[in-house]
Amino acid sequence: MQYFVQQLINGLTLGSIYGLIAIGYTMVYGIIGMINFAHGDIFMVGAFAALIVFLILGALFYSVPIVIALLIMMIVAMLLTSLYNWTIEKVAYRPLRGSFRLAPLITAIGMSIALSNFVQVTQGPRNKPVPPMVSRVYTIDGISVSLKQIIIVLVTVILLAIFWYLVNRTALGRAQRACEQDRKMAALMGIDVDRTISITFVMGAALAAVAGTLFLMYYGVVVFSDGFTPGVKAFTAAVLGGIGSLPGAVLGGLMIGFIESMWSAYFSIDYKDVAAFSILAIVLIFLPSGILGRPEVEKV
Amino acid sequence: MNASSSMNNAILQVEHLSMKFGGLVAIGDLSFQAKRGEITALIGPNGAGKTTVFNCITGFYKPSEGMITLNLRDGNNFLLERLPNHEIPARAKVARTFQNIRLFSGMTLLENLLVAQHNKLMKASGYTILGLFGYSGYRKASAESIELARHWLEKANLVDRADDPAGDLPYGAQRRLEIARAMCTGPELLCLDEPAAGLNPKESAALNALLMDIKDNTGTSILLIEHDMSVVMQISDHVVVLEYGRKISDGDPQSVRTDPRVIAAYLGVDDEEVETVLTEVGDEDVIEQLDAGPDSAHGPGTSSSYLAGPVTDTIGHSEGERVTVSKGASRAGQVDERAKAAASKAASPAAKSAAKSSAAKSSKAKPAAKAPSGRASGKTTGPAAGKRGGRK
Amino acid sequence: MAVTVSPESDVVATPVQRATREALYAGAISLGLFVLFIGLRTDQNISNELILVQRWGLLAAVVIATMVGRFLYVAYGQPFLANQKIVDVATGLLPESVATRFFRLPYFIAAIAIAVVLLLLAGSLDGLVGPDLADYARFVRALAIIYALAWVIYYFRVFILAHFSALGITALALYPIVVVLVIALYTGSMVGGFQGSLKWVDNFGIQILIYVMLAWGLNIVVGLAGLLDLGYVAFYAVGAYAYALLGTHFGLSFWILLPAAGAMAAFWGVMLGFPVLRLRGDYLAIVTLAFGEIIRLVIVNWREVTNGSAGISGIPKVSFFGLISFNVSDPNYIAKVLGIAQSGAYYKIFLYYLILGLCLLTAFVTVRLRRMPVGRAWEALREDEIACRSLGINTTTTKLTAFATGAMFGGFAGSFFAARQGFVSPESFVFLESAIILAIVVLGGMGSLVGIAVAALVMIGGTEALRELDFLKRIFGPDFTPELYRMLLFGMAMVIVMLWKPRGFVGSREPTAFLKIRRAVSGSFTKEGHG
C-alpha cells in the first residue's frame, strides 16, 4: 500500500509536468487546428534557459535563496520561451494559415529539428548536469515525499488556477474560445484573431517553460534532445484527454504520469513508454475522440 | 426470391420505420412504398426527417425500429437495415446523391464516374492482382467503363468538360454530375436528396429532363427529396409527405396537392387559404376567430413552439442544423383539429357550443389537448402560424 | 505591399525607412532570442562542473547579420520581387527575370573554362598555390560545375520537363558509370576510378534512392489515400530486422527474404491499420507515431532477440542471384569471376542498381495502381470518404490495402538498408526518420512521384553535400565542423521550402484517365484527406 501511494505521488509529479506541456499542445490545436510539433522543443528551450539563468545567478551572487532563484529562472524562461514561440508562430505558421493542412505540420517538424539542433550547436551535445537545488525529503509513514515533488505539484496547481481564470473569466479567454469556434466570425465580431493566436502561443510557451524549469529542478540534468520524448508524451496526453479540451490535457497528463510510474513499479521499467503508447491506442479505439474530447459528428 | 407479383411491383418497402436520436423521434412509425419504374417524391418542411429517411435507406444510419425491404428485378430482396453501409450500393443497387454535393473535387469528371464503377472494375481486375500485370480482360472492362462514363456524361450534358476537375464545375453542373456518378453504379433505385436545390429555372428544367430520361430509358426507379414543387409536381408519380417524422399524406401529386393537411403543413398556409379550407368544411366560428387575429396576450411573433413550453427537444441533426420539435407544432395536426371540430359541429347542433369553446380555447392557445389523437392540440390557429409557414 | 501610409501624416514611408525600422525590430528580437543561447555557452570545466563561457562577439555578429539581412530583404528584396510581377507599360513585357539574368551564355562559357582549367591543374594545385588556396580553388571548381549543369538544365527546361521521367531514369542508370569514368580519367586508372566512386555512389546515390523509395511508399498512404502516417519508419524497421534476423540466423538469401520482409511489413501495416481505421486526422497521426515508437522501443528492449541498442551486425551481403558473390573469400567473388582487381566499389555499384530497380518497381506499381480501381478508390477516399461509401466502395479494405501496400515498400527498403549497411540498430529508426520521409512527400507535392524524387534529391543530397564543405574549416578554423549544422540547416530548409511552396514542388495532380486530353488538375481542387 505504501509502495502504491509512493508510486501515486511519483505519477502525480510526472503527470503535472506532462499536463503543463500538454496544455500548450491542446490550446494551439484548439485554436488553429494544427499539431505544434515544435512544442516539445520549446519545453527543452525553457529548461535550457532556466539552466543558464541558474548558472548566471550562481556566478553573480554568492548565494541566492532557492525560492527566489527558482522564481527568477521561471520568469526568465517564460519570457524567453514565449519570445521563441511568438517568433516561430509569426515566421513559420502564420503565412501558412488557411492553406494546406499538412504544410504547417511540416514547418512545425522543421522548426522542431531546427530548434533542437540550434541548441546542440550553440550549447554543445553533452548532458548538462546541475547540482541539486532542492534536496529535502519528508518521510511520513514510510512514504517519502521530496520537497521537489511538492513544489512541482504546487506550482502546477497555482498555474492551472491562473490559467483557468484567464481562459474562462477574461475577455482574452472569451476571444480565444470565439476563435476556436469560428475564426472568421470572431474576426467579424471585432476580435483581433492574429493577436489572439499569438497570445495563445505565448501562453502555451510560458507553461512549457515552467514545465522545463520544474523538469530541470526534478531531474537535475538536461540535454538538447530532451524535447522529443516529453513532447511526444505530452502530445499523447493531450490526445488521450481529448485534444482541444483543457481539462482533458491535464487529465491525460496525469494518466500518462500514473501509467508510467505504475508500470515501472509493478512490471518493467523498460516497457513503460510502450505501455503509455499502447494505452493511448487502446483508449482511442474505444473513444476515438479521447476521454473528454467532443466526438466528431459524421455529417452526411 | 419467391415474392409475389405485388411485392415485386414495389421496389422499396419501408415498414414501421423509426429513428430515434436520444429522446427525439426523428422518424416515427413511417411506412410507404416506392413502385418500380416510378418517381416517388418525399416532401415535407425542413426538419421533417426526409434526409434521415434517406440515411436509413442508404445505410448511413441504422434505424431504431422497422424494416426496409428492397426488391431487385431479378427477384432478390434485401433488408437494407441489415446490410453494411457500402454493400447497399454494391449489392442492393441503391445509389444516392447528397444534399451538400459530395464530389471528388480534385478528380476529373471522368474519374468521378470511373470511381463509381469501382466494384465492377475490381472484379474485372482480379482484385488488382491480374490488372497489375496488364491482364487483357481488365483492359477491356476498363474501356467499357470509360464508354459508360461517356454515355452518362453525354446524358448529363457534361461531355465537353470530361477532363476538368469536378471542383471547377458550376453548381448546377455539379448536381448533374453527382446524378451521373450515381447512375454509373448501375442502380435500380436512385435516391436524390434535393437535386434541384440552388438551380435556376433553366437548370431545373434540364434536371427534369434528365430524370425523366433515366426513368424512361433505364428502368431505374427514383426516390427524391425536393422542395421545388415545380419539379415534384411535374415529374413524380407518387408523393409521400412527411411532417415531424410522420407521414401525413401519400398519393399521386394531384391528391396530395389538394390534401388540406399537406397544404397546411408543407405548402404553407395563407390566411385566405386556410379560410378556403375551413369554408369547405364549414366552420364559420373558426373563421371568425381567425379574422380576429392572434390573441393580444401572446404578443407579436408568438410561435407554436414557444407556446408549447417545456415539451421540446433538440438534437444535432446530420447537417448540423438544430431541429426543435414541439408537441403541437404540427400544422397538419391543426387542420385535423379544425376539421374535427367542424365535423362534430355538423354532426349535432348540441355539440356546436362544445366545438366552439374548443376552437375558442385553441385560439387562445391554452394548452388543452382536446384532440383524441393527442398528437396536436391546435394551440396556434392564429394567422401568425400561417404566415410563418410561408409560401414557396 | 512595399509602401505603408502612416495614419498621422500623409508621408509615405520609403522602403529604406521601412527597412530600417524592420531591421531594428529584427535586431531586437534576435537579441532576445540569442542572448542566452549564443551569448553564453554552458561548458564543463575540469572538475566536471558547468561553467558559462561568454561569447558576446559572436552574439553581436549574429544580431548584426540578422539586421542586415532583414534590411536588405525589406529595402531591396521585397520591392524587387514585387516588381518582377509588374508588366512594363511601355513594352508590355514582364521585366527580365532573375533567372535569365543569372544564366547567360558568357557566364556559362566562363564557368566551363574555370572548371576545365582547374580540373587540368588538379594534381598540381597544392604545389602551385599552397594547400589553403587549393581548397578554395576546389570549391570554386565545384561551383563552376554546378553552375554549368544548372545552366544546361535552365536552357533545356522545356525539353527536360517534357521528358522528365525518361531523362531521369537514363541519368540515374548512367550515374555510376559516369562517376567511375570521370574519376578514372581524373586519377588516371580504372582502379582509382572505382575506389573514388565509392563516396559518390554510396553516400549520394544509394542514400538518396533509399529515401526516394521510402517516400514513394509513404506517398501511397499519405499522398494518395490521404491517411496521415507519422510512424512509417516502423515498417522500414520491420523490413530491416526481418532481413537481419532471418539472414544471420538461418542464412537465407536476400532474394528470398526481400519478399518475406515486404510481406511481414505489409502484415504489420494491416495490424496497425485495423485498430486505427475509425480514427481520423490527428488522432490517426498520433497513433501511428505511437506505433512507430512502440516498434522501436520493443527493438531496444527485447535484447534476447534484437540485441537491444547494440544492434545486429554481420548481416550477409546480397549476391547476384547466387551466381556472383561480393564476399572476397567466396570462390565466385566477382573479381575472380571476371578477372579484375579487387574493390569494394563493385558491391556498392551493384547495390546502387539494386535500389534503383526497387525504386523503379515502386514507381511502376504506384503508377499502375493509380490507374486501377483500387488506386482511384484511394484518391477518392482522400477526396470524400462518405461519397465513397455511397458508391459501394468498402472503405475498410481500401484503407487497409493502402496501409499494406505502403508498408510493403517500406519493408523492401528496410531489408535493402540492412543488406547495404551490414548492420542494423534501433538508432536508424527514430521518429526523425519518419518526419524526414513525410517532409519529402509533402515538399515534393503529395501524390507526385517526380516531385517527391526531386524533393529527396534536394533535401537528402543537400544535407549530404554539407559534408563536403571542408574548405569552410579554412575560414572558421579547424574546429569548425559543417556536419554539425547539417540538421539545423535541414530543419530550416524544410520551413523555407514549405513557406515558398505550400503545396510542394509539384502541386498539380495528373489525372488517371482522360477522354480527350490529359490536363493536370490544379492543386487548389485536390483535398488532403481527413484521416
**Numbered residues of chain B with Cβ closer than 8 Å to any chain A Cβ:** 51, 55, 60-61, 98, 316, 318-320
- Using N-to-C axis directions, what is the helix angle for A66-88 and A193-219, rounded to 10°? 140
Q: What is the mean pLDDT of chain B?
A: 70
Contacts of B61 in chain A (CB under 8 A): 300
Q: Which domains does chain B have, with CATH numbers?
A: 1-93+186-258 (3.40.50.300), 107-184 (no CATH), 263-389 (no CATH)
Q: What pLDDT, on a 0 to 100 scale, did the predictor assign at position C358?
A: 92
- pLDDT < 70 stretches in chain C: 1-13, 87-98, 122-132, 322, 335, 339, 470-479, 528-531
Q: What is the percentage of chain A residues whose pLDDT exceeds 90?
A: 31
How far is residue B282's CA from residue B275's CA, in Å, rounded to a whole number?
9
Q: What is the mean pLDDT of residues A161-177?
A: 87
C49 to chain A: which residues are within 8 Å by CB? 131
Residue of C nearest to A244 (CA): C282
The residue of chain C nearest to residue B90, with distances taken between CA atoms, is: C392
The answer to whether C103 contacts chain A (CB < 8 Å) is: no
Facing residue for C283 by CB, picked from A91, A288, A299 = A288
Instruction: State the pLDDT confidence band at B275, using cuts at 50, 70 and 90.
Output: low
Is C495 in Cβ contact with A111 (below 8 Å)? yes
Residues C376, C233 share a domain: yes
CA distance C526 to chain B (A): 4
- pLDDT of amino acid C68: 93
Task: Look at residue B255 in the predicted model and tell me its pLDDT.
Answer: 82
Range of the domain at C304: 163-468
Number of domains in chain C: 2
pLDDT of B67 higher than 80 = yes
What are the Cα distances from residue C365, in Å, to A208, A272, B300, C222?
46, 40, 69, 16
Whether residue C332 lies inside any domain: the answer is yes
pLDDT for the residue B358: 45
- Asked if C42 lies within 8 A of A52 by C-beta distance, the reply is yes
Q: Test B132 with C369 for CB contact under 8 angstroms.
A: yes
Query: Is B55 close to A299, i.e. CB distance below 8 A?
Result: no
Burial category of A59 from C-beta neighbours within 10 Å (exposed 0-12, middle 13-18, buried 19 and up): exposed
- What are the start-end ranges of the H helices in C207-344? 207-219, 233-250, 254-276, 281-301, 303-306, 334-338
**What pLDDT, in 10s, does the model give residues A184-243?**
888 888 888 899 999 999 999 999 999 999 999 998 888 888 888 888 889 889 888 888
Which distant-in-sequence residues (6+ apart) come within 8 Å of C116 by Cβ?
none
Which of B88, B116, B163 has its CB closest to that of C517? B163
**How far apart are alpha carbons C286 and C424 in whole angstroms?**
26
Residue C409 lies in a domain: yes
Give pLDDT tens digits for C27-45: 999 998 888 888 888 888 7
| Phi and psi, residue B10, nearest 5° | -95, 125
Which of B86, B102, B164 has its CB closest to that of C392?
B86
**One domain, residues C291 and C373:** yes
State the average pLDDT over residues B357-362.
44
Q: Is C290 on the interface with A (CB under 8 A)?
A: yes
Average pLDDT over residues B276-299: 46
Nearest alpha-carbon partner for C442 in C395, C499, C377: C499
Q: Does B168 contact C at CB distance below 8 Å?
A: yes
Write out pLDDT tens, residues A39-86.
999 999 999 999 999 888 888 887 778 888 889 999 999 999 999 999
C-alpha cell at B46: 425542413
State whether C493 and A110 contact (CB < 8 Å). yes
Q: Which of B61, B98, B316 sits opposite A297 (nearest CB)?
A: B316
In a domain, C215, yes or no: yes
C-alpha cell at B284: 364559420
Backbone angles phi, psi at C64, to 5 degrees: -65, -40
Return the pLDDT at C97. 67
Tell me the shortest Cα–Cα distance from A274 to chain C, in angstroms: 5
Report residue B188 as a C-alpha cell: 435500380
Stretch B223-245: mean pLDDT: 82
The neighbours of chain A, by the rule of 3 or more Cβ pairs under 8 Å, are: B, C
C441, C409 in Cβ contact below 8 A? no
Q: Do B104 and C377 touch (CB under 8 A)?
A: no
∠ Cα A150 A74 A216 (to 5°):
65
Q: What is the pLDDT of residue B375?
A: 39
pLDDT band (50, 70, 90) for residue B343: low
- How large is the average pLDDT for residues B369-389? 39
pLDDT value at position B331?
A: 59
Give the model confidence (pLDDT) of A108-120 as tens digits. Answer: 999 999 999 999 8
Inside any domain, residue C344 = yes
Which residue of B56, B88, B318 to mutate against A (max A Cβ within 10 Å)?
Answer: B318
Which pLDDT belongs to residue C530? 59
Across all residues in chain C, what is the average pLDDT? Answer: 82
C76 inside domain: yes
- Same domain? For C170 and C62 the reply is no
CB contact under 8 A, A300 and B60: yes
Residue of C nearest to B111 (CA): C513
User: Which residue has 454509373 as its cell numbers?
Assistant: B184
Is there a contact between C278 and C454 (Cβ–Cβ < 8 Å)?
no
Q: What are phi and psi of B49, to 5 degrees?
A: 100, 15
Is the same domain home to C62 and C180? no
Best to test chain C binding among A81, A82, A113, A256 (most C CBs inside 10 Å) = A113
- Judge whether B278 and B342 are in contact, CB under 8 Å: yes
Are B245 and B27 in contact by the 8 Å Cβ rule? The answer is: yes
SS3 call for A257: helix
Hey, where are the domains in chain A? 13-232
Grid cell at residue A25: 499542445
Contact C390 B102 (CB under 8 A): yes
| pLDDT one-digit tens code per residue, B97-131 | 888 888 888 888 888 988 888 888 887 777 777 66
Q: What is the 3-state secondary structure (H, E, C) of C153-195?
A: HHHCHHHHHHCHHHHHHHHHHHHHHHHHHHHHHHHCCHHHHHH
In a domain, C125, yes or no: no
Contacts of C446 in chain A (CB under 8 A): 102
The CA distance from B97 to C516, in Å, is: 27
Q: Environment class of residue C25 by beta-carbon count within 10 Å: exposed (0-12), middle (13-18) or buried (19+)?
A: exposed
Instruction: Using the structure block, give the residue that is written with the C-alpha cell 385560439.
Output: B363
Looking at the structure, tell me whether residues C192 and C79 fall in a common domain: no
pLDDT score at B365: 40
The conformation of residue B166, written as its DSSP 8-state character, comes to G
Cα–Cα–Cα angle for B380, B384, B389, rounded to 5 degrees: 90
If 0-12 CB within 10 Å is exposed, 13-18 middle and 19+ buried, where does residue C266 land?
Answer: buried
Q: Which long-range contacts (C-beta less than 8 Å, at least 24 apart) are formed by A264-270?
A: A265/A3, A265/A7, A270/C297, A270/C300, A270/C301
- Three-state secondary structure call for residue C37: coil
The alpha carbon torsion through A219, A225, A227, A233 (nearest 10 deg) reads: -80
Nearest residue in chain A measured CA to CA from B52: A300
Chain C CB contacts of B164 under 8 Å are 519
- How close does chain A come to C327, measured CA to CA in Å? 38
SS3 B312: strand
Q: Which of C468, C493, C523 is where one domain is finished?
A: C468
Put simply, whether A29 touches C (Cβ < 8 Å) is yes
For chain C, list the contacting chains (3+ Cβ pairs, <8 Å).
A, B
pLDDT at residue A3 is higher than 90: no
Cα–Cα distance, A237 to A220 (Å, whole number): 24
pLDDT on residue B267? 56
Q: Determine contact, residues C267/A247, Cβ cutoff 8 Å.
A: no
Closest listed residue to residue A83, CA positions, set C504, B291, C314, C36: C36
C495 lies in some domain: no
Q: Which of C417, C421, C255 is nearest to C325 (CA)?
A: C255
Check whether residue C203 and residue C83 sit in a common domain. no
**Residue B248, φ and ψ in degrees, nearest 5:** -110, -15
DSSP codes, C181-232: HHHHHHHTSHHHHHHHHHHIIIIIIIHHHHHHHHHHHHHIIIIIS----S-T
Question: B305, B86 in Cβ contact below 8 A?
Answer: no
Contacts of B162 in chain C (CB under 8 A): 514-516
Cβ-defined contact of A299 to B319 (cutoff 8 Å)? yes
- CA distance from start to end of chain A: 52
Alpha carbon distance C267, C407 (integer Å): 8
